[in-house]
Amino acid sequence: MKEIIKALKQLNSGVVLVAVASEAHKANAFTAAWVMQVSFDPVLLAISINSEHTSYDIFKEGGCCTVNILEQSQMEFAAHYGQSGVTDKMSLGTWVASECGVPSLQEALVSFECKWLNEIAAGDHQVIICEVLVSKALNEGVAMLYSDTENMDGSAELVAEIEK
Ligand SMILES: Cc1cc2nc3c(=O)[nH]c(=O)nc-3n(C[C@H](O)[C@H](O)[C@H](O)COP(=O)(O)O)c2cc1C
């Protein structure tokens, strides 16, 4: 694995499923590691999303998402929702509609319901700033780390080597 890939994974973000839905589109979800808290008051999260993902347009249309924190043993969830163009993508797990209509994952450690506020272009991704409206602690456990997923996201082929 490239040195830069190993180094970036030591930033040690967790792994979540971001679920989205809109009136025009049924629910979808994708695995994400680039999600972080960026404010206390109000509680804001930044979600970095590739605008080519199916979830991006749905999120923008619907204006709401849930951020569902995975437990370290839930690799099957990370792998399944890390794939694009899967028929019946939401078939894995128990998804229950949240107040804004987007499903939340009942097997997650925590599920946040969030409202889209604005977006910032960031290289090949868009950073969505969203406000946490509801926080539900659902299960006990230890959160999965991005580094636990090794090259599941194919990042070894996506990142440019950085000069030392
Ligand atoms: C461990 C892991 C972490 C990922 N992190 C992100 C991320 O933070 N942002 C992003 O846009 N895609 C991320 N991806 C890639 C998406 O999950 C993947 O491209 C997915 O197929 C998009 O689904 P969609 O097209 O149905 O929306 C990650 C994938 C994996 C396996």
pLDDT at position 109 = 98
Domain extents in the chain? 3-150
- The pTM assigned to this predicted structure is 0.96
Q: CB atoms < 10 A from the CB of 85, how many?
A: 6
CA 16 to chain CA centroid, nearest Å: 5
Among protein residues, the one whose CA lies closest to atom 19 of ligand 1 = 82
| Residue 91 neighbours by CB under 8 Å, 6+ apart | none
Least confident piece of the model among 3-7, 47-51, 72-76: 3-7
Q: Which residues line ligand 1 (CB under 6 A)?
A: 15, 28, 30-34, 48-50, 53-55, 78, 82-84, 125, 149, 152-153
Least confident piece of the model among 24-28, 71-75, 137-141, 158-162: 158-162
CATH fold label, 3-150:
Pnp Oxidase; Chain A (2.30.110)
| pLDDT, tens only, 23-64 | 999 999 999 999 999 999 999 999 999 999 999 999 999 999
Closest ligand 1 atom number to CA of residue 78: 31
Reported as a pLDDT band with limits 50, 70 and 90, residue 155 is: confident
